[in-house]
Amino acid sequence: PSSNRIMKSLVLLVPLLALAAAGRVSVREKIPDFLVPGSCPVVDEKALWAEQKPNHSKYAGRWFEVALSKNAFQLVKQCTKSDLTYNNNGFDHITTGLDQSGNPIRREGVTFEFTTGANRETPHLSIQFEQPSFASPYVILDTDYDNYSCIYSCTDFNGDFVSDWLFVWSRSSTLDAQYMDKCLVAYRKLGLDVNRLEKVTQGSGCDYEGQDSLLL
């Protein structure tokens, strides 16, 4: 399965990056394709946290994923919706939809509070699902809690390579252009290429009631 291949790549990643930096291996031949040269953009997470933390309970509930960048870790491919329950330290996630073959799929995960920085002074959220079982940053760049959420996840490897993903969530299966524009603005402020975003199949072709049975 693709998730197993990805996990094996991650296990080998750090030593490969060290060898690549030393010029002892070919970077493009050995480094997984979900990594690109560069470093994560600077995000004022302290300011975002101060604004969002008091409102985390408002972020709970149902969200539909309407757009995202290419993501090999994303096992739910279509009709993707996530039900979030606030637990005072983050959120419990149940995500349902269809996999690459069109079969119903359910994934469980958590979003939890975490601190980063040399002195552990920068708070943010991290997200972790049962497979692949590693945590990734979960930064809400912009949200009004009632209509849209612009999410960004970026992991920096030795300052030489990054893996990053963009996610646009909506409280309904469609998102008005005015709210999508807010996400595009948020991503562009970080210098991100919004052309990476791909539309997620949602709407009349999705059996949301059937997916709800996966929540039980």
For position 16, what pLDDT does the model report? 46
pLDDT reported for residue 130? 79
CA-wise closest residue to 84 among 103, 56, 104:
56
Instruction: Give pLDDT, residue 19.
Output: 47
pLDDT of residue 134: 73
d(CA 42, CA 21): 23
Check the CA dihedral 156-135-90-36 and report its sign. positive
Q: What amino acid occupies position 80?
A: T
User: Which DSSP string corresponds to 162-181?
Assistant: EEEEEEEEESSSS--HHHHH
Quick check: pTM over 0.75? yes
Q: What is the pLDDT of residue 32?
A: 72
Distance CA 32, CA 76 (A): 21
Residue 38, C-beta contacts closer than 8 angstroms, at least 6 positions apart: 161, 162
Torsion sign over Cα 148, 92, 125, 18:
negative
Please give the pLDDT value at position 132.
59
The sign of the torsion formed by the CA atoms of 207, 147, 65, 56 equals negative
Contact criterion met (CB below 8 Å) for 173 and 144: no
Q: Which of 56, 64, 59, 28 is nearest to 161 (CA)?
A: 28
- Mapped onto helix, strand or coil, the DSSP state of residue 4 is helix
The secondary element (H helix, E strand) that includes residue 2 is helix 2-21
User: Within its chain, how far is the Cα of 200 from the centroid?
Assistant: 14
In this prediction, residue 10 carries a pLDDT of 46
What digits encode the pLDDT tens for the residues 74-96? 899 999 999 999 999 999 999 99
Could you give the CA distance from residue 49 to residue 139 in angstroms, rounded to a whole number?
Answer: 9
Pick left, alpha or beta for residue 44 (phi over 0 → left; psi -120 to 50 → alpha; otherwise beta).
beta
Q: Within the chain, which residues score under 70 in pLDDT?
A: 1-31, 116-121, 131-133
Query: How far is it, in rounded angstroms, from Cα 75 to Cα 31?
Result: 21
For residue 122, the model assigns a pLDDT of 72
The letter for the amino acid at 9 is S
Domains of the chain and CATH, by start = 35-215 (2.40.128.20)
